[in-house]
Amino acid sequence: MANRPLSPHLQIWKWGPHMAVSILHRVSGDGMAIVGLGVLLWWLGALAGGPEAYETFHTHASAWYGKVVLIGLTWAFFTHMCSGLRHFVLDLGAGYELDTNRTWSVISMVGGVVLTAVFWALILLA
């Protein structure tokens, strides 16, 4: 066995918003890839399948459980976008100070929720 340094265990790290936003970034990306792709393929298949197939899709998409899925996908999109913008700024070399990183991590998570709420308010109230 080589004598090389080991990575610190999770008990050593202090939990912070930067860790949460990193996990949410991965979860939202995977959610969009798996669930979003399924919904997109179903929608495209319904469009190609004719009026009856599209009516079936529309019935499920406009039901309460369909709206939950669509709102969840919207939240995943906006959360992933806000987190991606935060990572872009970090890649530019800015925002590594602890307080700044913590602040932008919280703003990123809150921004995903606020943008989702505004988006769906515009859709449902228009």
Q: Does the pLDDT at position 12 exceed 80? A: no
What does the alpha-carbon distance between residue 31 and residue 35 come to, in Å, rounded to a whole number? Answer: 6
pLDDT in tens, 37-69: 999 999 999 999 999 999 999 999 999 999 999
What does the alpha-carbon distance between residue 116 and residue 81 come to, in Å, rounded to a whole number? Answer: 11
Nearest CA-CA partner of 28 in 65, 76, 87? 76
Residue 13 banded pLDDT, cuts 50, 70, 90: confident
Confirm whether residue 25 is marked as ligand binding. Answer: no
Domain regions of the chain by residue span: 17-125
Instruction: Classify domain 17-125 by CATH number.
Output: 1.20.1300.10
pLDDT in tens, 88-116: 999 999 988 999 999 999 999 999 999 99
Nearest CA-CA partner of 67 in 116, 126, 34? 116
